[in-house]
Structure 1
Amino acid sequence: MSIELDETRPKWRQVADILRARIADGTYPPGARVPSVVAITEEFGIAIVTAQKALKALREEGSIRTEVGMGSYVTGRSPH
């Protein structure tokens, strides 16, 4: 079952906010792998491009780093 998202706000922003909150509360501690694009699409019921955009936002702010072929990991830096 997917998480209900607000239809009046961009879905990628909502997903990024949820992942950011999980990083902040320690659900995904520094060094931990964050869910894959496929896992995010399944959890939130969104398109692959939407999940990619959410992860890109977290990567650009420095909250996560991505290693090609390995996945994305929490950097340990505080989200903005």
Structure 2
Amino acid sequence: MKNTFNTSAPKKATNLSLNSKLLSEAKRLNINLSATMEKALEIEVTQRLKAEWLEKNTDAIKACNDLTDKHGLFSDSYRVF
């Protein structure tokens, strides 16, 4: 999967408010909070960027699909399946 951000960008400190019991368990289990949060953010950002792209391009996608429905694909006569 292609990264949606620059993995070599410098880190920046931030503050988070987390459920205290969940945080205690994460610490007990030696979970790297920074790495876990970064991975979760990467997944969320990727999903939202995809949704944003689809929303922006809905009309173009529909137009392309309509054109294909009406005229077919250039390769239709060459397919063997």
TM-score, with length taken from structure 1: 0.26
TM-score, with length taken from structure 2: 0.26
More strand by share: 1
Higher RCO (CA-CA < 8 Å; seq separation 6+): 2
- Structure having the higher Rg: 2
